[in-house]
Amino acid sequence: MSLGDGHGQGDTGDAGDEVVEGGEPPCMLDLVCEECGRLNDDPETVNCGGCGTPLGRG
């Protein structure tokens, strides 16, 4: 096993060139219904699409 010499062997130095697209926001807990646990995919929704419980945003 080789740990390298700390001079970045194998590192191209182009980390700033990576393009990141899409993905989910880091925290979606405000979209989860506390009553039934459903993940509601519309951030504008006020009530759970599964059971109708208010999502408690605001």
Residue-wise pLDDT tens digits, 1-58: 555 555 555 555 556 678 777 776 678 888 899 999 999 988 888 999 999 999 876 5
In a domain, 17, yes or no: no
| pTM summary value | 0.51
Residue 48 backbone phi and psi in degrees, to 5 = -60, 135
In a domain, 1, yes or no: no
- Count how many domains the chain has: 1
In a domain, 5, yes or no: no
Specify the pLDDT at position 49.
93
In a domain, 9, yes or no: no
Specify the pLDDT at position 19.
77
Specify the pLDDT at position 47.
94
Question: Rounded to whole angstroms, how far apart are CA atoms 15 and 29?
Answer: 31
Specify the pLDDT at position 16.
67
State the residue range of the domain holding 43: 25-58
In a domain, 50, yes or no: yes
In a domain, 44, yes or no: yes
